[in-house]
């Protein structure tokens, strides 16, 4: 049963990190988008959160992707008077997404994903060795 718990907990980590990577990818994809008019706001950066929940089937606490928060920091502005989304001063609002921060977060999520894959692989190997010992 402990093998099942280990695999289930690591699998929940895989799902959570995959969701985190989807949100980060969306942020990166929209990093240079603008609004369609000067009156509306551009894309706002999304921040993934995690929550712990109890999986009653295995009797263990697992991780899940929580609510997606929005970053309320200020938008970037560029002076582009000919742009359709420019305001009266000629400034265009761009999303509050910093590609460097997003790439760092993506790398962190990737490493966490890989760590969970390694847990599943190691657990599977231990299970195979245990079965091998019991057969002998």
The answer to whether residue 122 sits within a structural domain is yes
Q: Tally the domains of the chain.
A: 1
Rounded to an integer, the average pLDDT of 99-110 is 97
Residue 79 within any structural domain of the chain: no
Q: What range does the domain containing 113 cover? A: 2-71+97-135
For residue 53 the two structure tokens come to 């929940």
pLDDT band at 38 (very low <50, low <70, confident <90, very high): confident
**Would 82 be classed as within a structural domain?**
no
87 inside domain: no
105 three-state secondary structure: helix
Q: What is the pLDDT of residues 60-90, one digit of tens each?
A: 999 999 999 999 999 999 999 989 899 999 9
Q: What is the pTM of this model?
A: 0.88
Residue 43 has pLDDT above 60, yes or no: yes
Residue 109 lies in a domain: yes
In a domain, 37, yes or no: yes
Residue-level pLDDT at 1: 54
Indicate if the pLDDT at residue 36 is higher than 90: no
- The span from the first CA to the last CA of the chain, in angstroms, equals 21
Pairing of strands 60-70, 76-79: unpaired
What pLDDT sits at residue 12?
A: 96
């Amino acid at each position: 049963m402990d093998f099942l718990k280990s695999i289930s907990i690591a699998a929940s980590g895989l799902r959570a990190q995959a969701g985190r990577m989807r949100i980060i990818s969306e942020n990166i994809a929209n990093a240079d988008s603008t609004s369609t008019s000067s009156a509306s706001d551009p894309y706002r950066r999304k921040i993934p959160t995690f929550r712990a929940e109890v999986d009653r089937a295995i009797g263990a606490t697992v991780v899940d992707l929580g609510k997606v928060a929005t970053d309320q920091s200020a938008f970037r502005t560029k002076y582009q008077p000919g742009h359709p989304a420019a305001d009266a001063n000629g400034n265009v609002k761009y999303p509050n997404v910093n590609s460097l921060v997003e790439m760092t977060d993506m790398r962190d999520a990737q490493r966490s994903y890989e760590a969970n894959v390694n847990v599943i692989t190691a657990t599977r190997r231990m299970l195979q060795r245990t079965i091998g010992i019991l057969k002998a």
